[in-house]
Chains A and B, each alone.
Chain A
Amino acid sequence: DAGVTQSPTHLIKTRGQHVTLRCSPISGHKSVSWYQQVLGQGPQFIFQYYEKEERGRGNFPDRFSARQFPNYSSELNVNALLLGDSALYLCASSTDLGDFEKLFFGSGTQLSVL
């Protein structure tokens, strides 16, 4: 079975642009979470969606938004990119909200903002 897939794997943008990152969860998983991992740090929680509804939001500005589609895939959008948005963006899927033993991470999208 395929794991959590994210696209693209790498992306280069310039300040002020916007970006859309995509995530396909493991088949049967209804929850998708997004994390930002700055180089040398642990992942920081951005959003969690379950059954297409937002169920959690981290301490990120309104430039960050996300949504989950009927097939449970998800998009993370970031507007007005800043240099500090450069990071590895991780998507994780799970069967349920708090089922951490069935929470799996994708390999991430490496975003560079120049």
Chain B
Amino acid sequence: GQQLNQSPQSMFIQEGEDVSMNCTSSSIFNTWLWYKQDPGEGPVLLIALYKAGELTSNGRLTAQFGITRKDSFLNISASIPSDVGIYFCAGHSSSNTGKLIFGQGTTLQVKP
């Protein structure tokens, strides 16, 4: 099935470091979303982006909707142990009502 290209696949960092991950697509999206999934749980929305060029923050998280509408990135500043988990980007285009296309995920591990 169709998936977005998300990188890196995994990251192992020291507590306090900043983290950056990105997502690219061959198709244009009207909405970009970033989710976090913990083991045994469903994805939880972190940030939603609705406009090309938009830069949005949620606490230590910052995400941007690429100008081409084909990419997005997520930054986490000053990582802490509870940031551990799998992060997914997801895109939505109005031609597929309600359907989200997800990336393969970035697994983040934080060493205290």
**CB <8 Å contact, A55 and B104:** no
* Chain A interfacial residues counted at CB < 8 A: 29
Interface centre among A33, A92, A94, A103 (most CB of B within 10 A): A103
CB-CB nearest in chain B for A36: B1
Residues from chain B with a CB closer than 8 A to the CB of A107 are 40-42
Interface centre among B41, B42, B94, B97 (most CB of A within 10 A): B42
Residues from chain A with a CB closer than 8 A to the CB of B103 are 42
Interface centre among A42, A94, A108 (most CB of B within 10 A): A42
* Chain B interfacial residues counted at CB < 8 A: 28
CB-CB nearest in chain B for A99: B98
CB-CB nearest in chain A for B3: A42
Shortest CB-to-CB span from B29 to chain A, Å, is: 12
Cβ-based interface call for B92 (8 A): yes
**CB <8 Å contact, A42 and B104:** yes
With A44-B1, A100-B31, A100-B92 known as contacts, the answer to whether A58 contacts B99 (CB < 8 A) is yes
